[in-house]
Amino acid sequence: MKNTTEMSQFPDKIAVNGKIFEIIKLLGKGKGGYSYLITDGEKRYVVKQIHHESCNYYRFGDKM
């Protein structure tokens, strides 16, 4: 299901709230992070993995 060229540098699975999901495909990437189409084997979801790059004008915390 995955495009091997597109996904070769990305993980096959991702953990969200302690549950493991299979990554179906990378939907996009930007300055803020990556968006993936994922599945738990029954349903499909979209998850955004946010980058936490440090910068001097903003403090990252638990914003979600």
Contact predicate 46/36, CB 8 Å: yes
Q: Is the pTM of this model over 0.75?
A: no
Query: What is the mean predicted confidence (pLDDT) over 35-63?
Result: 80
pLDDT digits (tens, 9 = 90+) for 20-29: 999 999 999 8
DSSP label of 17: T
The strand pair at 13-16 and 19-29 is best described as: antiparallel
Q: What is the CA radius of gyration of the chain?
A: 13
DSSP 9: T
What residue segments make up the domains of the chain, in order of their start? Answer: 4-50
